[in-house]
Structure 1
Amino acid sequence: MNQANNDIRLLVVVGIAAMLLLFISILLIFIFTQRKKIQYQQSLHALQQSQQFQMIEAAVRSEETERHRIAEELHSEVGALLSSAKLHFRMLKLDGEIKDNKGLYEKGNELLDDCINKIRDISHSLHSHILQEFGLNEAIKHFADKIAHGSVIKTATALDPTYTTTLLPQKDISIYRIIQELLNNTIKHAQPNEINISSTYEKDSLFIIIKHNGVGLTQPIFEKLRFTSSGLGLKNIQTRVNLLKGNINFSRSSDHYYIQIYIPKT
């Protein structure tokens, strides 16, 4: 009798152990399957993100290439034609009936001068030759000086001299375009009379601050505007910052607005 009871107990224990082992096996298989599923989803997300960045980078490169092409055409073809037209103006003899149109001649000559200068400015802006030849700091300084309008807008730069250039010229071009777009937007919408640009370069990471006394943006307003049809410029800025794996933040103090840009080491 005792032997039978012992056998029954043994069978029960073995059965319970087998059930526990089966349960643990099923649980482990479930956990392993879920982990594999999560890893697959993470890999798929990383691949999609990588593809998205590659597409954005290709679009930025394409945009920069197109800028250079337009700049070359403006400078070499259209600029040359306008210069030739101006030369013909100068060769006109102001006598006879033409003398009565001297005012029209002078006005036409003045308009040609303005047009040639404008095309030269557009060409330089598109081509960013200063950036390529002298580096990011000099390009920022040059652009800041160009947008200053005497007593209307004063600009100042305090850029970290230890930042010279990166191994990726496309990175500097993207940073320059970000600052260029931000300054254009600031002048157009914030209407400041003082703009200060400073930078710090530490551990291969670049930190840029644009400070102005206009009516600027805060981060919540920036997040709202960049998803509207009128916020295309802001969306382009955010896209370029994302491409550089950096971040941008808009804030304000009692009397100034700040745009902080962080570009990490890549």
Structure 2
Amino acid sequence: MNEQLSDVLLIIGTGTMLVFGLAAFAITLIVVYRRRYAAHQTELTQLHEAHQREILQAQLETQNQTLQQVAEGLHDHVGQMLSVVWLHLNCLHADTQATPYQASVTELLTHTATLVADVRNLSKSLSTDTITRFGLRACLNLELDRINRAAGTQQAVMQVTGDAYSMGQQTETILLRMVQEALNNALKHAPGSPISLLLVYQPDELAISVVDEGPGFSMDSLQVRSLTMSGQGIDNLRRRASLLGGTCTWQAGEAHRGTKVILIIPRLNPIEDNQAKPGSKTYPSATI
């Protein structure tokens, strides 16, 4: 009887151990599967982000090449032709001294000189060579000078805090195009409004703000705009900020409260192979 009881207990114990063993094995399989699935999903996400980054970078490179060609065309052809016109107007100005036409020639000469300077500055702002040579701050100064010259007043001002450092040629080129788009949006939607550009250099990131005092807008209103009325400015800025591993946000008020665009870009970001590291050199604003 005791032997039978021992056999039964042995069978029960063995069965219990097998059940626990199978349960542990199943739990282990589930845990391993979930970890591998999560790792696979993470890898797919990273591959998708890398693919999107490559597509956007290719688009930006194509855009930069196009802008570079436009800049060279402005400098080599339009700029030279305007210089010829300016020289001829100078000669005409000398020939019309003490005549009723001199005042008109003088006005044309002034406008032409302004146009020559504007084309020259526009060519520089479109050229990628300019930002490579002089850096982001100098190019933004040039952009604001172009805006103020067109407005005929000090419409746009820039303030820089912190020790400026290089973000790398590719990153600064993208940042320049982003700020140019934000400034153009401010000029379009808040014409005549004062515009403030703020650059805050922090050890690990660069914060850029573009603020206008225009009528502002509601973010909800953008979602219900028709196809013909909708734009791509906000989406373009967000995509480019994401490409740089950063963010682009809006503080958009209702009527008469203005709009603020905020770019936060990490100093070390995915787009730049040779990013500036802590301890790298800083540079002052250059004169173009």
Measured against the shorter chain, the TM-score band is: 0.7 to 0.9
Contact preservation (8 Å) 1:201, 1:207: yes
Q: Using the alignment, how far apart are the partners of 2:7 and 2:172 within structure 1? A: 80
The residue that corresponds to 1:264 in the other structure is: 266
**Percent same amino acid at aligned positions?**
25
Q: Distance in 2 between matches of 1:218 and 1:170?
A: 33
SS of 2:48's equivalent? helix
Q: Map of 1:1-266 to 2, 5 A cutoff?
A: 1-81=1-81, 83=83, 113=112, 119-127=119-127, 130-148=130-148, 149-151=151-153, 154-160=155-161, 162-166=163-167, 168-217=168-217, 220=220, 230-252=230-252, 255-266=257-268
Within 2, Cα distance between the matches of 1:164 and 1:173?
A: 14
**1:89 deviation in Å?**
8.3
Cα distance change of structure 1 residues 191 and 87 upon mapping to structure 2, 3 Å threshold:
closer
Distance 1:136 1:86, change over 3 A: closer
> Aligned pair in 2 of structure 1 residues 256, 216: CA closer, same or farther (>3 Å)?
closer
Instruction: Give the CA deviation at 1:246.
Output: 0.9
The question of whether the paired residues in 1 share the 8 Å contact of 2:156 and 2:196 is answered with: yes
Residues of 2 paired with 1:189 and 1:213: CA distance?
Answer: 10
Q: Which runs of 5+ in 1 are unaligned?
A: 93-101
Seen in structure 2, the aligned counterparts of structure 1 residues 228 and 54 have a Cα distance that, compared at 3 Å, is: farther
Q: Which runs of 5+ in 2 are unaligned?
A: 93-100, 269-288
What is the CA–CA distance in structure 1 between the aligned matches of 2:3 and 2:133, rounded to whole Å?
97
DSSP 3-state at the match of 1:164: coil
Which is worse superposed, 56-65 or 248-257? 248-257
Find the aligned partners of 2:89 and 2:152 in 1 and give their Cα distance: 32
**CA contact under 8 A between 1:192 and 1:212: conserved in structure 2?**
no
How many corresponding residue pairs?
253
Corresponding letter in the other structure for 1:176: L
3-state SS of paired residue (2:210) = strand
Structure 1 residues 241 and 192: alpha-carbon distance in aligned structure 2, compared to 1, 3 A threshold? farther
Cα distance change, pair 241–116 in 1 and its aligned pair in 2 (3 A): same
Contact kept, 8 Å, 1:186 with 1:192, in 2: the verdict is no
Judged with a 3 Å threshold, the aligned counterparts in structure 2 of structure 1 residues 29 and 129 are, in CA distance, closer, same or farther, namely closer
Contact 2:155 2:195 in 1 (8 A): yes
Paired residue secondary structure (1:198) = strand
The one-letter code sitting in structure 2 at the alignment partner of 1:21 is G
User: Could you tell me whether the CA contact under 8 Å between 1:219 and 1:251 is conserved in 2?
Assistant: no
Point out which structure has higher relative CO (alpha carbons under 8 A, 6+ apart): 2
TM-score, normalization: structure 2? 0.73
Provide, for residues 197-241 of structure 1, a one-character-per-residue CA deviation record: whole Å limited to 9, x for no partner.
Answer: 11211113111222221123455556777x987322222222211
Once the two structures are TM-superposed, the CA of residue 164 in structure 1 deviates from its matched residue by: 3.5
Q: Judge which range, 80-89 or 241-250, deviates more.
A: 80-89
